[in-house]
Amino acid sequence: MEYTLHFEVVLRKLPLFLGGLGVTAYFAVLAMFFGIIIGLFGALARRSKNRIAYSISTAYVELMRNTPLLIQMYLFYFGLTELGIPMGNYLAFALAISINNGAYCTEIIRAGLEGIHKTEIEAALGLGLSYPQTMIFVVFPHVFKIIYPPVCNQLILIILVTSLASFLGIRELTGVAREWDALHFRPIETYTVVMYLYVAITIAAMALLVFLGNKLLKVKIKVF
């Protein structure tokens, strides 16, 4: 069967796809913000001598990292609704991707904390700093420099993972593409344009992260 490419049909509706790209960026930033917060507490619990805190955080990390995000999304969206807890698709996806990302951020931050030598903490305490002051002014700034590159990589991954939101009927970039293709039957043109939009947003995000890392943190990230 002959198939003639008509990219102009899709490009005329580029603002529609850019709107979906905005939703993609929104979920990615949201997931990273809450993921890092969850990851911070999770990492501290993973290093805790309290067996209950350690066991709960370990179980959480293993559960989230060893089950598909799609299944977790369905549990939030369909499961909680069945239990009488109303759950819109946007909220369900935001919770699922943030909690899932939190498990990965937990391990990233934990690795960063393990990169801090005990002598640094002992020296800060010896200078008269309290333990909270030591963590805030000595440990966390150093840890942030260590974890910055893997956190940047995680953000890029999250941008791509947001495409799963389309399975809950959310009109992010992939969701818009699926709807458009279902109406106009132009799969090659539609998904080729979407592919390049994903490439554009990931390259732009990485360029911004590299710039911020170099200027603010003096952290050099090798991209290519």
Which residue segments constitute the domains of the chain, with CATH numbers given? 7-217 (1.10.3720.10)
Residue 224 has pLDDT above 60, yes or no: no
**Would you list the DSSP string of 51-97?**
HHHHHHHHHHHHHHHTS-HHHHHHIIIIIHHHTT----HHHHHHHHH
Q: How many C-alpha atoms does 215 have within 13 Å on its Cβ side?
A: 6
CB-based contact 103:61 (threshold 8 Å): yes
Residue 221's pLDDT is what?
65
Residue 74 has pLDDT above 80, yes or no: yes
Mean pLDDT of 96-109: 97
Residue 72 has pLDDT above 70, yes or no: yes
Span 13-37, pLDDT tens digits: 899 999 999 999 999 999 999 999 9
Residue 219's pLDDT is what?
67
Looking up tokens 């393990």 gives 114
CB-based contact 13:180 (threshold 8 Å): yes
Span 137-180, pLDDT tens digits: 888 888 888 899 999 999 999 999 999 999 999 999 999 999 99
Distance from C-alpha of 151 to C-alpha of 75, rounded to nearest angstrom: 27
Phi, psi of 72 (to 5 degrees): -65, -40
Mean pLDDT of 65-72: 97
Residue 3 has pLDDT above 90, yes or no: no
CB under 8 Å to 161, separation ≥6 — which residues? 69, 97
Mean pLDDT of 57-83: 95
CB-based contact 141:73 (threshold 8 Å): no
Distance from C-alpha of 142 to C-alpha of 136, rounded to nearest angstrom: 10
- Give the confidence band of 100 by pLDDT, cuts at 50, 70, 90: very high
Residue 101 has pLDDT above 60, yes or no: yes
Residue 222's pLDDT is what?
63
Mean pLDDT of 100-106: 97
Residue 107 has pLDDT above 80, yes or no: yes
Residue 212's pLDDT is what?
87
pTM, two decimal places = 0.88
Span 190-210, pLDDT tens digits: 999 999 999 999 999 999 999
CB-based contact 165:175 (threshold 8 Å): yes
- Give the confidence band of 118 by pLDDT, cuts at 50, 70, 90: confident
- Of 121 and 83, the structure prediction assigns the larger pLDDT to 83
Residue 223 has pLDDT above 60, yes or no: no
Task: Please name which of 144, 107, 142 lies closest in space to residue 123, comparing C-alpha atoms.
Answer: 142
Distance from C-alpha of 112 to C-alpha of 39, rounded to nearest angstrom: 11
Mean confidence (pLDDT) of the chain: 90
CB-based contact 191:36 (threshold 8 Å): no
Mean pLDDT of 108-120: 87
